[in-house]
Chains A and B, each alone.
Chain A
Amino acid sequence: MSDDDFEQPPIQTLPLDAWHRAKGGRMVEFAGYHMPVQYEGIMAEHLWTRESAGLFDVSHMGQLTFTGENVVPALEALMPADIAGLAFNRARYSLLLDAAGGILDDLMLTRQAEDRVYMVVNGATKYDDIAHMIEHLPDDVTLNLMDDQALLALQGPKAVDAMARVVPGVDALVFMQAAAFEWQGHDLWISRSGYTGEDGFEISVPAEAAGALADALTAQPEVKPIGLGARDSLRLEAGLPLYGHDLSPETTPVMADLGFALFKRRREEANFPGAERILPERENGPVAKRVGLLVDGRQPVREGASVLDADGSDVGKVTSGGFAPTVGAPIAMAYVPAALAAPGTRIQLTQRGKVHDATVAAMPFVPHRYFRGVK
């Protein structure tokens, strides 16, 4: 071994690596990092998150800040979000699009100030995203990868109770709102958001304070650490797509059933990447569409399984699938032809030579429980 032996990029460790191991996390490689797939078991962790609160380490994700006088129009040129119309400290889901309207990544952005946007992108795509954005952003916009920050997510119906005990005041936030907080002398950036369908928070914390904050949160009786396995089953039940599986450069926002990300002003201006393809597709309907599936029986049908039409022809693919602990049955997401996309449509799937019956279902499979404020 020598220091210049870098042909194989080593699997990297995240700030909470030792913390996960001490908690009994079973570590696997994910997005180039050692990450915990589970602690006590995916099923128990999933159900605990739905009934109480789970702490997830999502520090593999890319935390970016963009600064500059022209940051809003510069970022709007890369995605269909209305950032100019976004109030300060409000977050929005958006999609990084290529020139043909294909999805390069999905992301969350928060407008922090007139000249400053904070963004969280997927871990597996962050370096490609950065390269794409550096190529397309004007020189007067500065991109900073905050690789000295960890990112935690506290999710579940009791997340607010635990979180507010550790960081007083966070309970004033509503879904997709964010603010700066201080905890034991450390600056935190906390948004009321997440990717489980539950109420909860995402917390950007300096790497050196991440372990202490994770300890403080898991010391709350509502909170247990939760691994990537349950994160995947929770987001699947919530109907939320996972980049690299349900979204790719081959899919457009309309095909992916993410039309809500195409903001009205941007549709009218028709000036986001791929607008000349996406806007007619939105009017006329996509050829294929992402749908939810309830699978008959108990056997999970997973990514890669084929969708069959009435003649037995292969007309689509399952992009995510598995056993849904809260639903109590196998569920999936798939791209199917428009003619098969209506909820209630009976379809067939084939996996390892075996045919499974399924029904197209409206998503989410488990209702979202975001906190949108006191009515």
Chain B
Amino acid sequence: MSRYFSEDHEWIDVDGETGTVGITDYAQGQLGDIVFVEVPDEGKALSKGDDAAVVESVKAASDVYSPVSGTVIEGNAALADDPSLVNSDPEGEGWFFKITLSDAAELDGLMDEAAYEAFVARL
């Protein structure tokens, strides 16, 4: 399994044709206390860069973009009851959705962990 990162602070774990998407620890830290998450429904078709989910902190609403194209398999239902999972475990239990990748070549445009860390360090 490999983990990739976008410049919009999403991460995606890829296992075969299936990806699990969330927002990074850096992103949750910037957003602050998260009070609401809306994840996409199963079956929703997404293109890379589409608005895929909404995350709202006390201060502001933000869109989460899909880092790849594909079809949503599952949204993380646990976030409806406990959106603070995104703060407490952003790169684990706080995942947003799982997606079947339609074009694995899109992953080439994303960063690996070292590149993302360097990217964040420059912000």
Contact = CB atoms under 8 A, between A and B. Distances in A.
Interface of A: 37-38, 41-44, 46, 229, 233, 298-300, 302, 322-323, 325, 330, 352
Nearest to A328: B35
B58 A37 contact: no
Interface in B45-61: 54, 56-59, 61
A300 B54 CA distance: 11
B38 interface: yes
Contact of B61 (A41, A43, A229, A302): A302
A298 B33 CA distance: 14
Contacts of B116: none
Contact of A42 (B38, B58, B83): B58
A229 B58 contact: yes
B59 A229 contact: yes
A37 B80 CA distance: 26
Nearest to A325: B58
Which residue of A37, A41, A44 has the most chain B CB atoms within 10 A of its CB atom? A41
A44 B83 CA distance: 16
Contacts of A38: 32
B63 to A, nearest CB: 9
A40 to B, nearest CB: 10
A299 B56 contact: yes
A42 B36 contact: no
B32 A42 contact: yes
B56 A323 contact: yes
17 contacts: A38-B32, A41-B33, A42-B32, A42-B58, A43-B33, A43-B35, A44-B33, A46-B58, A229-B32, A298-B35, A298-B80, A299-B54, A300-B35, A302-B61, A322-B59, A323-B36, A330-B36
A311 B83 CA distance: 33
Given A298-B83, A299-B38, A300-B56, A42 B33 contact: yes
A41 B32 contact: yes
Given A46-B58, A323-B35, 9 more contacts: A41-B33, A298-B35, A299-B54, A299-B56, A300-B36, A323-B36, A323-B56, A325-B58, A330-B35
Given A38-B32, A43-B33, A300-B35, A233 B58 contact: yes
Interface in B1-37: 32-33, 35-36
Contacts of A37: 59
Contacts of B38: 299
Contact of A323 (B54, B58, B80): B58
Contacts of B59: 37, 42, 229, 322
Contacts of B32: 38, 41-43, 229
Contacts of A41: 32-33
Contacts of A233: 58
B84 to A, nearest CB: 9
Nearest to B57: A42
Contacts of A44: 33
B52 to A, nearest CB: 14
A46 B56 CA distance: 17
A353 to B, nearest CB: 11
Contacts of B54: 299
Contacts of A298: 35-36, 80, 83
B8 to A, nearest CB: 18
A260 B32 CA distance: 37
Contacts of B56: 299-300, 323
B81 to A, nearest CB: 9
Interface string B77-103: 000100100000000000000000000
Nearest to B38: A299
- 5 closest Cβ pairs, A-B complex: A323-B35, A43-B33, A42-B58, A299-B36, A298-B36
B94 to A, nearest CB: 16
A37 B59 CA distance: 10
A299 B35 CA distance: 8
Contacts of B61: 300, 302, 352
A315 to B, nearest CB: 23
Nearest to A322: B58
A17 B59 CA distance: 22
Nearest to A28: B59
B41 to A, nearest CB: 14
A216 B80 CA distance: 42
B78 to A, nearest CB: 13
Which residue of B35, B38, B58, B59 has the most chain A CB atoms within 10 A of its CB atom? B58
